[in-house]
């Protein structure tokens, strides 16, 4: 420790986060076969959380509009199933909603979310019911009206056609280039999501392929015409593609070896999920890996990323079930949400020193056995390491200030050391860690509740001189005890100048005598004792009144 006068020197995944569900209607994996079965049968897949639109049990029925009040009515729609996946809500399009509306077009719609019992990664999920209310905005006079042509659902805005769905049964589908004498210019959001056709021809009239347009279809290959200038998020995710082709001359996109990029090849948009290669080297030009870019690429065991990559998107490598190791380049500052979700064979990850944030579910369900979080990380997200059934050791640096909900839940940790920088621990952070017997805390007690260690038989060990442990024991319901180290320590955050004297707090649960020694030169130290104290209550406060007499002074502590 050096000082000078001018400068003196830290249950599972139906989460409480359901309050964020509606803002994140982001595409997440749902088993395609179950989806088709539920659409035809009019019931949700067994054992899966579901939202029942326009009726069902578990919540209040929406009020009926008064006659002539200008509001729309929405009939109950059978088979309209919304699934909760990774704590997110995925809403399918409503093909058969019967709507009658007068010029005012808003109608309240009740959503009842019933999470049914399930067993995921060894944790029992209790049934819950959440009543959600929202508003459905229906078509006003002059807006595009849904119509159908040869099995294609579409809208006509007066100048161009947007394909919104497909009700046909053909395995080989050709999208028309004109309908009603107008060009078919766009493939709408979720237009062919979960459809089973295996081949599609896209006409040169198409300029936009919107979000999730071909998500989880039966397509094994796709050719994109050079007229397309916009491809939305998750447009091709989950389909068993082995190759993607973009026609030459496209101003916005390109392909290389069957992989979809932007025109400059700086962003890798989609690697074909069913490509048979077991390894892939990302081109050196790439700086950004898009959302779900490698999601569900089951054959890949390794991916080499160039040093120039700065961004890895949400779910970028999720469910790459054969991926065994991964090195995150030094320029990446954030590991995005669900980046490596459910990569069951992933046992080794090396993080660069620039990472400051580990997102929600980033390594959830992976095969990691141990991991060292770099000192640059300040935040660890909800469920970041939950369900890691082989994880026995993790090092949390003193740069981390908070641990999120469910972060390490259902892992195989036997002990954990919490740095003094952590001030809060989220709900269920260590829930169902059946092997966890001790948690060592280097600082004052963080805020925590009774769920943090639920299902674990753990004792919290704390250093003498730290505060808040009686309240911590009451709030969490776990036992606490003094942490007896084999040596004395200086409590972090206590060193500094008080009353013109430099000092710090020494902690040691043994109450044995402690000697403080000082030296002025570490290269050739001549240590001399400046204080000897017997600790009372496990601590003593050391002060050096002579510190200003030296240009620099170093201290060490030892037992007598």
Closest listed residue to residue 558, CA positions, set 522, 537, 530: 530
- pLDDT surpassing 90 at residue 54: no
**Neighbouring-strand partners of residue 555:** 518
* Chain-centroid distance, C-alpha 248: 36
pLDDT at 441: 96
- The more confidently predicted of residues 244 and 98 is 244
Highest mean pLDDT among 103-117, 132-146, 242-256: 242-256
Residue 352 DSSP one-character state = -
Q: For residues 58 and 547, which has the higher predicted lDDT (pLDDT)? A: 547
CB-based contacts of 299: which residues, under 8 Å, 6+ apart? 274, 275, 276, 277, 278, 322
Strand-pair partners of 281? 304
pTM > 0.75: yes or no: no
Sequence-separated (6 or more) residues with CB below 8 Å from residue 96? 77, 78, 79
Q: Which two tokens stand for residue 437?
A: 């017997």
pLDDT band at 50 (very low <50, low <70, confident <90, very high): very low
Do 396 and 374 meet the contact criterion of CB atoms below 8 Å apart?
Answer: no
- Contacting residues for 373 by C-beta, under 8 A, at least 6 apart: 351, 358, 380, 394, 395, 396, 397, 400
Nearest Cα to Cα of residue 167 among 156, 181, 177, 152: 152
Q: How far is CA 552 from CA 1, 492, 518, in A?
A: 10, 20, 10
**pLDDT value, residue 143:** 52
Bridge partner list, 416: 439
Helix ranges (DSSP H) in 328-370: none
Question: Given this model, what pLDDT does residue 122 score?
Answer: 37
Identify which has the larger pLDDT, 23 or 411: 411
With tokens 């030459």, the residue in question is: 248
pLDDT top residue among 37 and 438: 438
pLDDT over 70, % of the chain:
74
Token readout for 90 is 């995925």
pLDDT at 310 over 50: yes
List the single range of 93-102, 192-201, 292-301, 495-504 with lowest mean pLDDT. Answer: 93-102
Sequence-ordered list of residues with C-beta below 8 angstroms from that of 40, at least 6 positions apart, any chain? 79
Tell me the average pLDDT of the chain: 79
Q: What is the pLDDT of residues 149-184, one digit of tens each?
A: 999 999 999 999 999 999 999 999 999 999 999 999
Average pLDDT over residues 447-473: 95
Helix (H) or strand (E) holding 35: helix 32-41
pLDDT in tens, 521-557: 988 899 999 988 888 788 888 999 888 889 899 999 9
Residue 415: count of CB within 10 angstroms of its CB: 14
Q: Which of 138-147, 174-183, 409-418, 477-486 has the lowest mean pLDDT?
A: 138-147
Confidence class for position 59, pLDDT limits 50, 70, 90: very low
Tell me the mean pLDDT in the region 330-357. 95
Higher pLDDT, 190 or 496: 190
Span 256-307, pLDDT tens digits: 999 999 999 999 999 999 999 999 999 999 999 999 999 999 999 999 999 9
> Rounded CA gap, 345 and 99, in Å?
48
Q: List CB contacts of 82: < 8 A, sequence separation 6 or more.
A: 50, 51, 53, 89, 90, 91, 92, 111
Tokens for 514?
């402690």
pLDDT at 3: 44
Specify the 3-state DSSP secondary structure of 531: strand
Q: Are 415 and 440 in contact (CB under 8 A)?
A: yes
pLDDT over 60 at 35, yes or no: no
pLDDT more than 90, % of the chain: 62
Cα 464 to chain centroid, rounded: 37
pLDDT for 144 equals: 60
* pLDDT (tens digit per residue) in 74-94: 333 333 333 333 343 333 333
Quick one: pLDDT band at residue 326, thresholds 50, 70, 90?
very high
Residue 337 DSSP code: T
Contact 362, 388 (CB under 8 A): no
Please tell me the least confidently modeled range out of 135-139, 147-151, 242-246, 323-327.
135-139
What residue spans define the domains of the chain?
16-137, 488-559
Asked if 288 contacts 309 with a C-beta cutoff of 8 angstroms, the reply is: yes
Over residues 83-125, the pLDDT tens digits come to 333 343 333 333 333 233 323 332 333 333 333 333 333 333 3
Across 58-67, 78-87, 218-227, which has the greatest mean pLDDT?
218-227
Tokens at 223, concatenated: 């050719």
Output the pLDDT for position 539: 87
b/e sequence 43-70, b meaning 16+ C-beta within 10 Å: ebbeebbbbbbbebeebeebeebeeeee
């Amino acid at each position: 420790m050096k000082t000078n006068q001018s400068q003196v020197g830290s249950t599972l995944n139906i989460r409480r986060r359901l309050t964020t569900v509606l803002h994140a209607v982001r595409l997440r994996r749902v088993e395609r076969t179950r989806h088709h079965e539920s659409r035809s049968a009019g019931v949700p897949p067994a054992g899966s959380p579901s939202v029942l639109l326009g009726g069902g049990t578990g919540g209040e029925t929406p009020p009926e509009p008064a006659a002539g009040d200008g509001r729309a009515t929405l009939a109950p729609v059978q088979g309209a199933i919304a699934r909760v996946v990774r704590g997110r809500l995925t809403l399918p399009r409503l093909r058969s909603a019967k709507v009658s509306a007068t010029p005012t077009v808003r109608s309240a719609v009740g959503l009842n979310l019933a999470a049914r019992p399930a067993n995921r990664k060894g944790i029992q999920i209790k049934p819950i019911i959440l009543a959600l209310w929202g508003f459905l905005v229906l078509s006003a006079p002059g807006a595009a009206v849904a119509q159908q042509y040869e099995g294609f659902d579409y809208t006509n805005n007066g100048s161009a056609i947007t394909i919104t769905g497909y009700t046909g049964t053909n395995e080989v589908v050709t999208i028309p280039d004109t309908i009603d004498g107008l060009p078919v210019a766009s493939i709408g959001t979720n237009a062919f999501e979960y459809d089973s056709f295996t081949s599609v021809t896209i006409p040169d009239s198409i300029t936009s392929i919107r979000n999730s347009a071909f998500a989880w279809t039966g397509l094994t290959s796709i050719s994109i015409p050079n007229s397309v200038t916009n491809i939305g998020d998750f447009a091709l995710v989950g389909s068993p593609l082995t190759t993607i082709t973009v026609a030459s001359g496209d101003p916005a996109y390109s392909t290389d070896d069957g992989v979809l990029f932007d025109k400059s090849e700086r962003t890798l948009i989609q690697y074909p999920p069913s490509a048979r290669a077991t390894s892939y080297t990302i081109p050196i030009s790439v700086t950004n890996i898009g959302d779900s870019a490698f999601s569900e690429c089951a054959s890949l065991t390794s991916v080499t990323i160039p040093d120039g990559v700065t961004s890895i998107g949400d779910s970028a490598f999720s469910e790459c079930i054969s991926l065994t190791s991964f090195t995150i380049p030094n320029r990446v500052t954030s590991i995005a949400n669900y980046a490596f979700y459910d990569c069951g064979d992933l046992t080794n990850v090396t993080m660069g020193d620039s990472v400051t944030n580990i997102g929600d579910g980033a390594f959830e369900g992976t095969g990691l056995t141990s991991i060292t979080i770099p000192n640059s990380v300040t935040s660890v997200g909800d469920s970041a390491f939950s369900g890691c059934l082989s994880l026995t050791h993790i090092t949390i640096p003193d740069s981390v200030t908070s641990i999120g909900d469910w972060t390490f839940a259902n892992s195989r940790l036997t002990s954990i050391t919490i740095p003094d920088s952590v001030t809060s621990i989220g709900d269920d952070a260590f829930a169902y860690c059946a092997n966890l017997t001790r948690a060592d805390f280097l600082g004052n007690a963080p805020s925590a509740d009774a769920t943090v260690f639920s299902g674990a038989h753990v004792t919290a060990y704390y250093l003498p001189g730290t505060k808040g442990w009686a309240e911590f024991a009451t709030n969490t319901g776990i036992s606490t005890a003094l942490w007896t180290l084999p040596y004395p320590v200086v409590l972090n955050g206590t060193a500094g100048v008080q009353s013109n004297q430099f000092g710090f707090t020494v902690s040691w649960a043994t109450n044995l005598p402690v000697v403080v020694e000082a030296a002025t030169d570490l290269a050739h130290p001549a240590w001399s004792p400046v204080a000897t104290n017997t600790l009372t209550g496990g601590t003593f406060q050391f002060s050096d009144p002579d510190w200003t007499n030296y240009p620099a002074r170093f201290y060490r502590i030892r037992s007598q």
